[in-house]
C-alpha cells in the first residue's frame, strides 16, 4: 500500500503519453502529407 500512490501517478503519466501518441497518429492519418508532384 505504501507505493500505491506512486504507481497510480506513473500509470496516469504513461496513459497520458500513450494518448498523445495515439492523437498524433490520428492527425497524421487523417491529414497525410501531400506527395511531391512532378515527373520522375
Residue 10 is placed in which grid cell? 506513473
Please give the chain's pLDDT, 40 residues, in tens: 667 778 888 999 999 999 999 999 998 888 877 765 555 5
Distance from CA of residue 10 to its chain's centroid?
16
What per-residue confidence (pLDDT) applies to 40? 52
What per-residue confidence (pLDDT) applies to 23? 94
User: Whole-prediction pTM value?
Assistant: 0.60
Q: What is the radius of gyration, based on Cα positions, of the chain?
A: 19
Question: CA-CA distance, 27 to 40, in Å (whole number)?
Answer: 29
Amino acid at each position: 500500500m505504501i507505493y500505491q500512490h506512486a504507481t497510480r501517478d506513473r500509470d496516469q503519466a504513461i496513459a497520458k503519453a500513450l494518448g498523445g501518441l495515439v492523437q498524433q497518429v490520428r492527425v497524421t492519418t487523417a491529414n497525410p502529407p501531400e506527395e511531391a508532384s512532378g515527373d520522375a
